Amino acid sequence: MARTKSKYRIGKMTTIDYIIFVLMLVIALFILIPFWNVIMISFSTPKEYADNPLMMFPKNPTLDSYKALFADGSIFRGYWNTLKLLIVGLPLSLFLTSSMAYGLSRNKFPGKKIIFFLVLFTMIFNGGIVPLYLVMKSLHLTGSLWSVILAGSFSAFNMILMMNYFQSLPESLMESARLDGAGEWRILFSVVLPLAMPIMATITLFYGVAYWNSWYDAMIFLRKAEQLPLQNVLRSIIVESTTNASNASSVDAVGKQGFSTGMKMAAVVVTMVPIMCFFPMLQKHFAKGVLTGAIKT
C-alpha cells in the first residue's frame, strides 16, 4: 500500500471525497443494522419485541432468552463438538498444508509438476458427495467426528496460497540451513514457518472459519444428534423451526413466537460471537497474507 504515501492521497477533502464517505457509511450501516437488530432482540423481552419489532435499544434488557437457550443444553453440546473439530482439525490441516506447500515450493525435483497438477485438479473437479460418503463409509468413519475433520483438513486453494508465500522467501535461507546440516522437515519448522507468520495466520483463519462453519459434512456423515457441531444445532433451532413461521400471521402466534424469536436470535449471537472476536484481530494479517500469497504473478 505504497499508494497511501503518494501525493495522490494527500490534500484537502473535496466534494467527491465526502460523497464517497457517505456512500460507504450507508453501505456499512446496511451491513451493521441487521446484526444490531438481532443482538438487541436477543436481549429484549418477548412482549417488548412484539410491540416494537424495530428494536434498536430495548428498554428493559434481559438475559431470559439466553437462559432459556442454555437450559436446553444442545448449544453446549454443539460448542463442545465444534471445539473438538478445531482442536484436532486445525493442527492437522496446518500440518498437511504447510508440509505439502513447502515441499512444492522447493526448487525442482522429478515429478513436481505432476504432483502440483494433482493438487490443482481437485480445485476444478471432484467426486461429489456420494462417492465421498461411500469412501468414508468403507473406511468406517461415518458416524464419527473424524469424518468431518478429515473431509475438511486439506484445501488446494489454501495450499497454493501458502506455496506462493513460501516461494517469496529467499532461497539462500534454506540453503544455509542445509549447509548447517538441517533436514527438510527441520527447515520447515525452524526456518520457514517462523518467517511465514502472516500466511500462517491467514490460513489458520481460513481453516478455523471453515471448521467453525461446517455443517453439510456433519449432516451427512454423522448419525446421532449429540455428535452434531454447533452450526447444525443452530440450524435445527432457527431454520427448521422457522419453515412455517415466516408466513405465520395469526395474532395468537405472535406472543409465543416472540419468545422463540428471542431464543433463536440468542442462538445466532452465541454462534457468531467467536468469529466477531477473532476476525478483527486476524484481519490485518490476512490482508497481508492474501496479498503476498495471491498477487505474486
- Cβ burial 25-42 (10 Å sphere, 16+ → b, else e): eeeeeeeeeeeeebbbbb
**Distance between CA atoms of residues 126 and 133, nearest Å:** 13
Instruction: Answer whether 160's CB lies under 8 Å from 200's CB.
Output: no
Q: Residue 176 or 283: which CB sits closer to other proteins?
A: 283
Indicate left, alpha or beta for 111 from its phi (over 0: left) and psi (-120 to 50: alpha): left
Cα–Cα nearest to 289, from 211, 196, 209, 210? 196
Q: Residue 67 or 283: which CB sits closer to other proteins?
A: 283
The least distance separating other proteins from the CB of residue 78, rounded to whole angstroms, comes to 11
Q: Residue 4 or 172: which CB sits closer to other proteins?
A: 4
Instruction: Answer whether 130's CB lies under 8 Å from 261's CB.
Output: no
The least distance separating other proteins from the CB of residue 98, rounded to whole angstroms, comes to 9
Q: Residue 119 or 203: which CB sits closer to other proteins?
A: 119
The least distance separating other proteins from the CB of residue 242, rounded to whole angstroms, comes to 5
- Give the max Cα distance, the chain: 79
Q: Residue 7 or 194: which CB sits closer to other proteins?
A: 7
**Distance between CA atoms of residues 180 and 187, nearest Å:** 10
Instruction: Answer whether 90's CB lies under 8 Å from 208's CB.
Output: yes
Which grid cell is 162?
501458502
Q: Residue 2 or 71: which CB sits closer to other proteins?
A: 2
**Distance between CA atoms of residues 35 and 23, nearest Å:** 19
The neighbour count for residue 46, using CB atoms within 10 Å, is: 21
The neighbour count for residue 188, using CB atoms within 10 Å, is: 20
Q: What is the 3-state secondary structure (H, E, C) of 118-153?
A: HHHHHHHCCCCHHHHHHHHHHCCCCCCHHHHHHHCC
The least distance separating other proteins from the CB of residue 44, rounded to whole angstroms, comes to 12
The least distance separating other proteins from the CB of residue 114, rounded to whole angstroms, comes to 11
CA–CA distances in Å: residue 223 to residues 7, 139, 226, 227, 228: 61, 16, 9, 8, 8
The least distance separating other proteins from the CB of residue 255, rounded to whole angstroms, comes to 12
The least distance separating other proteins from the CB of residue 58, rounded to whole angstroms, comes to 14
Q: Residue 61 or 255: which CB sits closer to other proteins?
A: 255
Q: Residue 21 or 80: which CB sits closer to other proteins?
A: 21
